[in-house]
Amino acid sequence: MNMLTAEYNYEKDMAVQRQEAAELATRNVIQKVEMAANKAATQKEMEIAMKLMALGQSDTFIAEATGLSQSEILKLHEKRKTMAN
């Protein structure tokens, strides 16, 4: 059927738009939940790294144990220094 000559159905169009809006809202909520979970996981990894630093573990060990990058570990060293002062 040629879409240019097809009859426009307002109700169907609105139903499709509502469905698309609902799907977008659901995707946004899921994305926000995933972001919050990732942030919480990263925060926990950083707390563990700080404890390992206090125990004198090497940066290499901390990176392997927590999954943090070397640059993230260096930032934590700086944070520890400022907290100690």
Position 7 confidence tier, pLDDT thresholds 50, 70, 90:
confident
- For 13-68, the pLDDT digits (tens) are 999 999 999 999 999 999 999 999 999 999 999 999 999 999 999 999 999 999 99
Tell me if 53 sits within 8 A of 65, measured CB to CB: no
Q: How far apart are CA 84 and CA 20, in angstroms?
A: 52
Amino acid sitting at position 43: Q
Position 2 confidence tier, pLDDT thresholds 50, 70, 90:
low
